[in-house]
């Protein structure tokens, strides 16, 4: 069985790994599609991000879907041949945060393709995978590529939950990679009235408009493009900061109205904050990290046709072209979501 393994920055290899047998409560899945995430790109381009560094070879990937080929003992609500989206969120269920219902903050989280702990948690970019049945969301009616988008969509649904009521609100999205695009879809589904999106790429901003953004601003071409939203102490009720870049956050804060809420999703490292503006405007700054139960909601919304992710899957490469896929995935002039086909 082939898998995609990162050894160091720019050292990505296709290697053999063992095929496991499902135990009680588990299923064996023949992987069909996997999406390349921003964290995968950090491992590929830099060997990690912030203090999190690769210390051993690690299978990448956590945005995956595939078809069930075998059921373990006691699995009754899934069937062989069924397409499922596989949640990478595997909290322990026993720590104090799990007990409080904050599963995304689990002290012993086993999240596919994560170098946070050591030994690292091996990822899901492999031709076959054994998963817990409770990780699997039936994806009947979707393509494998759509089903694999459940993970990033769940990230955005969790952020939208953190944002509170969006009905009739004005929303700013900074950074129009996959997370920014999906935040636009989630915010609109939650009732946002006006959505403005910023980025440095005309290609991704065109995709933001396709996702439903009312106004887009290329901050590289027009650094003062948000100035129209500054009068009378600002315009926006909610900011989804998806870039992880300090200039984007600062520009967004300047355009926020008093009492607004900032949802920080981008993970670009520590940033300096304009604390005087945050204080004077009485803004709320909230982090948003991963997800848990939102994963199944993401699949449900896609299956019902309430959120359409297809236009934002911009490339699909075969497994043997994984290196090319990773190179393209980081190019915002041509890619939103790049996926790998394992079929």
- Predicted confidence (pLDDT) per residue in 15-53, tens digit: 998 888 999 999 999 999 999 999 999 999 999 988 899
Residue 171 phi, psi (nearest 5): -125, 135
Q: Please tell me the distance from the alpha carbon of residue 259 to that of residue 124, in angstroms, as a whole number.
A: 41
Class of domain 156-287: alpha beta
pLDDT grade for 279, boundaries at 50, 70 and 90? very high
Segment 243-267, tens digit of pLDDT: 999 999 999 999 999 999 999 999 8
Domain boundaries along the sequence of the chain: 2-149+309-341, 156-287
Q: How far is CA 292 from the centre of its chain?
A: 12
Segment 318-337, tens digit of pLDDT: 999 999 999 999 999 999 99
Per the model's pLDDT, the better-predicted residue between 271 and 102 turns out to be 102
Query: What's the pTM?
Result: 0.95
Residue 291's contacts (CB-CB under 8 Å, 6 or more residues apart) are: 89, 104, 151, 154, 155, 157, 158
In CATH terms, the fold of domain 2-149+309-341 is: Quinone Oxidoreductase; Chain A, domain 1 (3.90.180)
């Amino acid at each position: 069985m082939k898998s995609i393994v990162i050894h160091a920055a720019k050292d990505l290899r296709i290697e053999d790994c063992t095929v496991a047998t499902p135990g009680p409560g588990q299923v064996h899945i023949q992987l069909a599609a996997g999406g390349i995430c921003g964290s995968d790109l950090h491992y590929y381009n830099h060997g990690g991000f912030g203090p999190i560094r690769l210390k051993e070879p690690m299978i990448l990937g956590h945005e995956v879907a595939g078809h069930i080929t075998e059921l373990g003992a006691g699995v009754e609500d899934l069937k062989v041949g069924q397409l499922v989206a596989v949640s990478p969120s595997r909290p322990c269920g026993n720590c104090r945060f799990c007990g409080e219902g904050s599963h995304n903050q689990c002290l012993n989280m086993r999240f596919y393709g994560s170098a946070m702990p050591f030994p690292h948690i091996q990822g899901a970019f492999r031709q076959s995978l054994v998963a817990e049945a409770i990780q699997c969301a039936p994806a009947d009616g979707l393509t494998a590529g759509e089903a694999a988008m459940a993970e990033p969509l769940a990230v955005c649904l969790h952020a939208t939950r953190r944002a509170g009521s969006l009905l009739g609100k004005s929303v700013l999205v900074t950074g129009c990679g996959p997370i920014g695009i999906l935040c636009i879809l989630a915010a609109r589904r939650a009732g946002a009235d006006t959505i403005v999106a910023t980025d440095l790429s005309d290609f991704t901003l065109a995709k933001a408009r396709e996702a439903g953004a009312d106004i887009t601003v290329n901050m590289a071409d027009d650094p003062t493009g948000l100035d129209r939203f500054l009068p009378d102490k600002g315009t926006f009720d909610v900011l989804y900061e998806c870039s992880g870049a300090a200039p984007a956050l600062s520009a967004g804060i300047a355009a926020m109205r008093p009492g607004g809420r900032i949802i920080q999703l981008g993970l670009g490292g520590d940033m300096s904050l304009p604390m005087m503006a945050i204080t004077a405007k009485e803004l709320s700054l909230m982090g948003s990290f991963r997800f848990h139960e939102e994963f199944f909601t993401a699949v449900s919304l896609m299956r019902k046709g309430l959120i359409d992710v297809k236009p934002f899957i911009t490339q699909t490469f075969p497994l043997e072209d994984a290196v090319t896929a990773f190179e393209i995935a980081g190019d915002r002039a041509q890619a939103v979501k790049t996926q790998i086909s394992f079929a």
